[in-house]
Chains A and B, each alone.
Chain A
């Protein structure tokens, strides 16, 4: 047993999107909670160094200097790794990992994690998603259905603040919404063209975690109305979008029950054979390299999909020689992601007399329309489609001298509209796609390096082909021209939606977690980040992680009260 100063009611590993929620729920319900964060603290407002910088104040006007890009080729591929936010991203050379097969692993190691830089897109799952594996014969059946998580979607949406329209679609359940901003002219045009030409395809407002109109709860959190700067990745001076730093962590702190321990990377979860449960967590101070053990009755593993797998794999004991809870050998396996390879761009010569005014931190979204009610194509599942557009304007920069100067000073000339769509494809989790621990390589703290053996399959290739065909057709019918499709052939990872490895399921023989996100074989350990996902569907996943975390944390407290843990 540990000394009292290292003993808590609960430990949460990770302070990001889902860990912040676990911490908030556990603290609010009265549990003395230790949150372990491997990176530095990032206090809301105080630690957003670039948030109020004007474009001309960035030395390189946003570009990443060559020396940084050269040393860090993987993170440089990430769209958000620019001069204004690169301090929130993990550098390749500081955190090496192994790629048995190529995987671009994008990480943010600080309080708030990637909730600082995320794109804030939020959609609920429906039973078309939860029933996917069972109906289509892949992975394992989810141990829950929509009705189990629906109240928790409502719960987290109200607290986080989600802007959206009630669209009335069975494929994408409506939520607790703050007002939506306008759709743009081009989105309305595209929406009408799609509705005219297709049934069951809907162009809707992209639901997003922004305070279009704060409710009293948000004011109480100290957050204000989104001012549509679209600089969210820097952290927001208005608290206008959801991140852990502005919302869940301060709320947890307010309870007086939170202890936040930064610069603490988790080595392993301590399992007590005699007690038959986990009793604590071993951390390594990232600065001093000193090891410390912390103890608690319940442990929430929210280190991010990949690192949660790593921690559990590294938590070996006589009882669990292959990783905590890993009797069936499936820990790390059935790892999946979102297929983001396909993109389409086009032009539109209509709507010449219209444009938009002001800013808006979201775009449009088309929920999955393939294989929804039945299997129809030569691939399983399907893809969501993002849609965005803008009215171009240009300045003539030909020539030099007074002519050029005059052109630069003149009003920009409006041109055509440019539009684009991105594929978000569901990938099928397979036993052959996995993460594992390298047998010899260790990181700076003596923790085994993570190895990726994940790749695309034939289903992904067919889906890309279908996306290109279908969206090209939809674009053409909307009168878009110069339609160009690209397959980026990027490695998995840049979707930043990696999931699985510690999947939920009904049967301990074929899954790691039960319906309450508890490890089947070690019930006081909970996993509610991306690692728990049995399938990936076609939604931006963070909202679902928040809902799982809140639901599991409340269940954990109930179990503790009943002395079931």
Chain B
């Protein structure tokens, strides 16, 4: 039971080959309640993998732990105009369609190298349609947002302190990084 859970976890979070029967892919239910945009479970899984590829889990948590794909979908659903929402969902569809055309499989099934090559092309905007670039940049923006605004990152990495206290020093030496 533990091993199957570990494999399934590895499947969702890592850019690995599909080790499980394809029926399991259709088991995923809608993780969040969307009111305005429609994104099916296949697309959500793709988005989950995309966000996890953008900010992977290392020794420190990554996009997966902060549920970045859910946050991205929620932000598009709640904070975007209908026109921008359509651009996002069209871009999302185009994204996977183009991957299939280029690599003969969906993003989820691509190898690590293929995913890297694909996202690099998008980052460089090399021969990539505008709506796919836009979709990727939106997803990346909200993935970064979800990650950098999470408690662990803000407190442990950026030393965020909501209550600085009554003292303020107007001019202090900037601490230089020790090599």
- List the B residue with the shortest CB-CB distance to A400: B54
A411 touches B177 (CB 8 A): yes
- Given A54-B151, A61-B145, A408-B55, A355 and B172 contact (CB-CB distance below 8 Å): yes
Interface residues as binary, B49-83 with A (CB distance below 8 Å gives 1, 0 otherwise): 00001111010101000000000001100111100
Residue A356 lies at the interface, judged by CB distance under 8 Å to chain B: yes
Whether B174 lies near A65 (C-beta < 8 A) is no
The smallest beta-carbon distance between B121 and chain A, in angstroms, is: 12
Given A59-B74, A63-B79, A229-B162: A398 touches B123 (CB 8 Å cut-off): yes
Contacts of A397 in B (CB 8 A): 144
Q: Which chain B residues lie closer than 8 Å to A355 at the CB level? A: 171-174
Q: Which of A56, A355, A412 lies at the interface centre, i.e. has the most chain B CB atoms within 10 A of its CB? A: A56
Known: A65-B79, A400-B119, A400-B140. A405 touches B170 (CB 8 A): no
In the bound complex, do residue A402 and residue B58 qualify as a contact, i.e. CB atoms below 8 Å apart? yes
Q: Is A273 an interface residue (CB 8 A)?
A: no
- Taken together as a complex, chains A and B put the C-alpha atoms of A60 and B77 apart, in Å, by 11
CB-defined contacts of B119 to chain A, threshold 8 Å: 400-401
Question: In the complex, which residues 138-178 of chain B have their Cβ closer than 8 Å to any Cβ of chain A?
Answer: 140, 144-145, 147-151, 153-154, 157-158, 160, 162-174, 177
User: Is A357 within 8 A of B169, CB to CB?
Assistant: yes
Q: How far is the CA of A54 from the CA of B151 in the complex (A)?
A: 8
Q: Given A55-B154, A56-B151, are A358 and B169 neighbors across the interface (CB < 8 Å)?
A: yes
| Chain B residue nearest to A182 in the complex (CB) | B170
Q: Please, which residues of chain B bring their CB within 8 A of the CB of A66?
A: 78-81
A445 in the interface (beta carbon within 8 A)? no
Q: Evaluate contact between A185 and B171: CB separation under 8 angstroms.
A: yes
Interface residues on B, range: 35 or more
A154 at the interface (CB under 8 A from B): no
Which residues of chain B are within 8 angstroms of A231 by Cβ–Cβ distance?
162
Residues of A within 8 A of B162 (CB): 54, 229, 231
Is B30 interfacial (CB 8 A cutoff)?
no
A181 within 8 A of B: yes
Judge whether A227 and B173 touch: CB under 8 Å.
no
A226 at the interface (CB under 8 A from B): yes
User: Known contacts being A401-B53, A402-B58, A408-B148, is A358 close to B168, with CB within 8 Å?
Assistant: yes
Query: Which chain A positions have C-beta within 8 A of B78?
Result: 59-60, 65-67
CB distance from B10 to the nearest CB of A (A): 17
Q: Shortest CB–CB separation between residue B156 and chain A, in angstroms?
A: 10
Whether A350 sits at the interface, judged by CB under 8 Å, is no
B145: which A residues are within 8 A, CB to CB? 61
CB of A353 within 8 A of chain B?
A: yes
Q: Which of B54, B171, B173 has the most CB of A within 10 A?
A: B171
Cα–Cα distance between A64 and B116 once the two chains are bound (Å): 35
- Given A56-B149, A184-B171, A228-B54 contact (CB < 8 Å): no
Q: Which residue of B lies closest to A406 (CB)?
A: B58
Q: How far is the CA of A356 from the CA of B79 in the complex (A)?
A: 34
Is A399 close to B, CB under 8 A? yes
B123 and A399 contacting across the interface, CB-CB below 8 Å? yes
Are B123 and A226 in touch, CB under 8 angstroms?
A: no
**Smallest CB gap from A230: residue in B:** B164
Please tell me if the beta carbons of B164 and A228 are within 8 angstroms of each other in the complex.
Answer: yes
Docked Cα-Cα span, A400 to B49, in Å, equals 13
B79 touches A60 (CB 8 A): yes
Where chain A touches its partner, the secondary structure class is: loop
- B168 pairs with A357, CB closer than 8 A: yes
Contact yes or no, A226 B174, CB < 8 A: no
Query: Which residues of chain A have C-beta atoms less than 8 A from B140's C-beta?
Result: 400
Q: Which of B15-66 contact A (CB under 8 A)?
A: 53-56, 58, 60, 62
With A183-B170, A187-B170, A405-B58 already in contact, the answer to whether A400 and B123 are too (CB < 8 A) is yes
Q: How far is the CA of A398 from the CA of B125 in the complex (A)?
A: 13
On whether the beta carbons of A405 and B55 are closer than 8 Å, the reply is yes
Within the assembled complex, what's the spacing in Å between the Cα atoms of A166 and B151?
41
Contact of B173 among A184, A229, A353, A404 (CB under 8 A): A353
Shortest A230–chain B CB gap in Å is 8
Complex Cα–Cα for A353 and B148 (A): 26
A124 to B73, CA, bound (A): 50
Minimum CB–CB distance for A56 against chain B, Å: 5
Q: Tell me, in angstroms, the Cα distance from A428 to B62 when the chains sit together.
A: 57
In the complex, are the beta carbons of B164 and A401 less than 8 A apart? no
Does the CB pair B164–A358 fall under 8 Å?
Answer: yes
A420 CB to closest chain B CB (Å) equals: 17
Do A229 and B147 touch across chains, with their CB atoms under 8 A apart?
no
CB-nearest residue of chain A to B116:
A401
Given A56-B151, A358-B165, A400-B140, are A405 and B62 neighbors across the interface (CB < 8 Å)?
yes
Q: With A and B bound together, what is the CA distance between A229 and B58 in angstroms?
A: 32
Q: Does A225 contact B (CB under 8 A)?
A: yes
Contact (Cβ within 8 A) A409 B157: yes
Chain B residues near A226 (CB, 8 Å)? Answer: 166
Closest chain B CB from A296 CB (angstroms):
42
User: What chain A residues lie within 8 Å of B80 (beta carbons)?
Assistant: 66
Give the docked Cα–Cα distance between A66 and B35 (Å). Answer: 12
A96 at the interface (CB under 8 A from B): no
A225's contact among B53, B75, B166, by CB below 8 Å, is which?
B166
For B166, give its contact among A183, A212, A391 (CB under 8 Å): A212
Q: Which residues of B contact A405 (CB under 8 A)?
A: 55-56, 58, 60, 62
Residues of B within 8 A of A408 (CB): 55, 144, 147-148, 153, 157
Query: Smallest distance from the beta carbon of B73 to chain A beta carbons, Å?
Result: 13
Q: Provide the bound-state CA to CA distance between A404 and B123, in Å.
A: 12
Contact B165 A401 (CB under 8 A): no
Any B CB within 8 A of the CB of A188 = yes
Taking CB as reference atom, which chain B residue is nearest A356? B170
A399 proximity list for chain B (CB < 8 A): 123
Across the interface, name the chain A residue whose C-beta is closest to B60: A409
Whether a CB of chain B sits under 8 angstroms from the CB of A352 is yes
- Given contacts A65-B79, A229-B164, A400-B54, A354 and B171 within 8 Å (CB-CB): yes
Interface check A73, CB cutoff 8 A: no
Closest to B51 in A: A400
CB nearest neighbor in A for B160: A55
Listed A/B pairs (15) with beta-carbon separation below 8 Å: A56-B149, A66-B78, A212-B166, A227-B163, A228-B165, A229-B163, A355-B174, A356-B168, A356-B172, A357-B169, A358-B165, A400-B55, A401-B116, A405-B55, A412-B158
Using A188-B170, A404-B55, A408-B144 as known contacts, list a sample of 5 further A-B pairs with CB atoms less than 8 Å apart, ordered by residue number in A. Answer: A66-B79, A228-B166, A355-B171, A358-B169, A399-B123
Report which A residues bind B (CB closer than 8 A).
Answer: 54-56, 59-61, 63-67, 70, 181-185, 187-188, 212-213, 225-229, 231, 352-360, 391, 395, 397-402, 404-405, 408-409, 411-412, 414
